[in-house]
Amino acid sequence: MASKGTIVTYITGNHDEMLRKFSPTILGNITLVDKLVLELNHQKIWIFHGDVFDASIQHSKWLAKLGGWGYDLLILINQMINWFLLKMGKDRYSLSKKIKKSVKGAVKFITNFEETATDLAIENGYEAVICGHIHQPQKRVITNTKGSTLYLNSGDWVENLTALEYQDNQWNIITCQPEEHSKNSEEEKSTYPRRRIAHSFNNSKLIKK
């Protein structure tokens, strides 16, 4: 894509945390960042992976009140906590893994994640916030006492086969699904055509007056 002229922005996450020490970096058409702000249809869209909430989501939601540098502080706190955990011979804290292991607590963890992300977005005046990390595709407006914002989660490309797309002033969750398997095993091995299912949400309705 980049070699053909497409501008690519690579947003770091927990699986490539080592790259954060190089952020921001620009290599031709590829930009490496920890977070990204886009302005689309006169709206500010805040995009980041979301793993920075892992170690602090349950006890540090107050960090959402810290303003523009709150997200950067979350990155630092998350790194420090995981550094101590590794020093004690324990595994790094991962919210996404905890969700998968705890069916009963999954709804609570997902809700806390969404509320923490949107609290921080609303505090900083973003009309929409986009995350990944917890592998739960979602699009919904979340409101608190200070306002509302559109929460979007891209899901993942492993289990849900989902992605986000912005087209015609709308955000869409695109789901790719394998077609029904052919009875012919050779056909199954040779090709797996996919169809796209778009779930539309008119983002223009969220413009604050």
Q: pLDDT, tens digit, for every residue of 146-173?
A: 999 999 999 988 777 899 999 999 999 9
Q: For the chain, give the percent of residues with pLDDT over 90.
A: 33
pLDDT band at 50 (very low <50, low <70, confident <90, very high): confident
H/E run at residue 180 = none
pLDDT band at 108 (very low <50, low <70, confident <90, very high): confident
CA atoms within 13 A on the CB side of 177: 7
d(CA 209, CA 206): 9
Find the mean pLDDT for residues 77-102.
Answer: 66
Contacts of 47 (CB under 8 A, 6+ apart): 11, 35, 36, 37, 38, 129, 130, 131
pLDDT band at 194 (very low <50, low <70, confident <90, very high): very low
Burial of 79 per CB tally in 10 Å (0-12, 13-18, 19+):
middle
* 29 pLDDT higher than 50: yes
| Helical H segments across the chain, by residue range | 70-87, 95-101, 103-123, 185-190
Point out which residues pair with 165 in neighbouring strands: 172
Helix (H, G, I), strand (E, B) or coil at 17: helix
33-37, 64-68, 142-146, range with the lowest pLDDT: 64-68
Whole-number average pLDDT of the chain: 74
**Which one is predicted more confidently, 202 or 161?**
161
